[in-house]
Structure 1
């Protein structure tokens, strides 16, 4: 970059749960004087974003060549484990093949890529997990994300993968996160005419607030803008362990409903999921990157915006 040039970021998948939080964080007025952020979206593209289908490789190449960004944040993916299990070809197309195209173009352009991955690359038997621990995914989602990690880093070792656990944050629909998706069942269980809601109490999760992840990503981009890009594998995670049963009880408290909840002590998902994939965040912490909002404070803020109650 030369004097007077703005640092250009392509934010791929800006309309999703995480992408919106990152877009909001990067829209800081002071930073906008030095940074240019170009958002892309597909099904939910709007006037503030470029419509881009990641399955259209020619369109992806044309977009990146026309923009010539300094950095590319890839927040778009097929992240639903059940969908990946039932349609592994789609999972590979979005989580591996599209990322390979982005990686190839980025390398040719000299752009730094930050791609979002998952704790599901591990089998959940020996937490905490460090970036260099051997992956062992249990399901198609985890396998596709691991393949995507390898495709990116093999194409350009200077790029970076950011592994994240269960995310929740400002949402447009309850089902955008496995955290907020619990709310309708929680509320329904409080009705005397309805049976109790069964909630998983087997797997330990670490809910992570998307605005906090956005702060992490901003910090990583700032390193890149200063010429000190973070490469390889990085990880970020909330630090409060809880099962879905625990999450449900805390949501019920916030919503002030007398929920009837039953703890499900054995795995109930059709798609195999790991039991405890706690990610160590030390690599970013030593760089002074990160923020963690307490779960109760974050979920209270989110649910306070929806006083009408969960949409069905």
Structure 2
């Protein structure tokens, strides 16, 4: 029996990962959650180092995946203490506890560790985060590598996938404004056309992580830093256009050519996925196919009309 602990299993990526791992014969998944604990999850506040230690000691996983984080740039900017507690200190606590059990730890990081001026970025490119979120995730990467020799960092870009509410992903968070602009009294919705993003489907990421876990299960664990990314560049305006097409809405959308976010964001942080691809790891679903799967599973009409 191969046992995997998924930390942050109620989140956008965590749910996709639990769904993927639950299909593996001979694997056992222990899922934790904090803000949205469910019947099949263990309640765990990863800011509580003693609780983390007791959880890992009790469950004794073979591998641990940290999918919990504070990932909202504006929140991190205004509450750096919370960002540090979740993105740095908790990673150190989890990795330290896992090391005592001989478990492999995979920590999720972000393309925002780069400043976006010289893409594509390799796994060993020099980080230069522009905001508190990127800085906290970079510190989290270092916390992992300082705490264990049996660990790996997986950097990911903008994620989207099956949701429980529109705001879960920066992709689907555009839908209410798109729908409002398409209504009879609707005004045009301005959408950022400056920052280039690489939307990445969470079920594809879960597939990648499962492949990485399989290597560990077979005694060939991956270490250091790896990256995975979708390969379709688009800005939020272009994402919104494709969302409107998928929703069959006649939306009024206006491209905004300059950054409008209060928190600075990088221009283009394209992550090179070469290291994983060289190992035969990876899967990419096209955006138009994947986003239609997401929208088909979510009752958007009632939501946006409310």
TM-score by length of 1: 0.96
Which residue is 1:229 aligned to? 221
Which residue is 1:217 aligned to? 209
Of 4, 7, 16, the match for 1:9: 4
Which residue is 2:33 aligned to? 41
Which residue is 2:65 aligned to? 73
Which residue is 1:92 aligned to? 84
Q: Which segment is superposed worse, 107-116 or 302-311?
A: 302-311
Q: Which stretches in structure 1 are left out of the alignment for 5+ residues?
A: 1-5
CA RMSD of aligned residues (A): 0.9
Which residue is 1:18 aligned to? 13
CA contact (8 A) 2:62 2:102 kept: yes
Deviation at 1:306, TM superposition (A): 3.0
Which residue is 1:181 aligned to? 173
- Structure 1 outlier segments of 4+, above 2 Å: 305-308
Of 82, 91, 95, the match for 1:103: 95
Please give the residue correspondences for 1:1-312 in structure 2 after superposition, counting only pairs within 5 Å.
6-28=1-23, 31-32=24-25, 34-309=26-301, 310-311=303-304, 312=306
Structure-1 separation of matches of 2:165 and 2:28: 29
TM-score by length of 2: 0.98
Structure-2 separation of matches of 1:13 and 1:306: 22
Structure-2 separation of matches of 1:230 and 1:160: 6
Structure-2 separation of matches of 1:190 and 1:236: 35
Q: What SS does structure 2 have at the residue aligned with 1:66?
A: helix
Deviation at 1:308, TM superposition (A): 4.7
- State the aligned residue count: 304
Which residue is 1:3 aligned to? none
Q: Which segment is superposed worse, 172-181 or 155-164?
A: 155-164
Deviation string 1:65-91 (CA, Å, 9 cap, x unpaired) is: 111111000000000000000000000
